[in-house]
Amino acid sequence: MTMQNASRAQQRLCDRGFDIAVDGDFGPISHAALISFVGRKRSISRLRLALGGAMAREFPKVGLERPLRLAHALGQQSAETGGFGSLVESLNYSVAGLRATFSRSRISNADVQRLGRKPGERALSTDRQRQIANIVYGGSFGRDNLGNTQEGVGWRYRGRGVKQLTGRYNYTTHADTLKLPIVEHPELLEDPLQGVRAACHFWDSRGCNALADRDDLIGLTRRINGGTNGLAQRRDAMERAKAILVS
């Protein structure tokens, strides 16, 4: 992929311990190294290598070869995926984390205490994570904001892909563009290529480039997240991306 100051960005990644070529071609390996650095990972995993290939192929189609835009996109995506560690949403929340993330209108204090992870407890079971998803992505909020009109579909349409596409409405609106049966098979977005394609469609269809061009982190976070959840993590990841791509 052709990108402004690509060789400089590659050299900066090399300086931070990534063994990549400095050749001006910001391709799959360069992207994989970049997202590893942005996500505070020391090595390029198999998943991040696959994501790097998908990003090199798909990002230029929506204008993400520009350094500032790319820095903002990766900052958002890193926060959504735990540093590019997983393409499916985890609802393994502690009691405190669950309460801090979702308002009382989304989940009651009683359900937070009942379902959240207690101190010393291991990861939540799939059943408890499913219950959390069906509560926070269900009810009137899920119906009005996510298109989850049927009971119990919050878990089925939980976040997936590098954008963490969430809700039946979003899966439905992306299905035709992606030409994928993701309403019937939402797990298809756990594939790196399809997860990146979905994120690119969301980014482009929501006019995110204009916000990135203005360096508007808060506006972009609201556009993508619907609020400002995880703003500190998004800012940190964006600044790490900028250190390689922009400054």
pLDDT per residue as tens digits for the range 99-126: 999 999 999 999 999 999 999 999 999 9
Q: What is the sign of the dihedral through the CA atoms of 213, 61, 160 and 165?
A: positive
pTM of the model: 0.94
Q: What is the mean pLDDT of residues 160-178?
A: 96
Q: What is the mean pLDDT of residues 142-164?
A: 97
Q: Give kind and range of the element (H or E) at residue 75.
A: helix 67-80
- Helix 192-205, helix 67-80: angle, nearest 10: 120
State CA 39 to chain mean position distance. 11
Nearest by Cα to 26 from 52, 6, 45, 40: 6
Nearest by Cα to 137 from 102, 171, 108: 102
Query: Is a pLDDT exceeding 80 seen at residue 236?
Result: yes
Residue given tokens 């922009």 in the structure block: 246
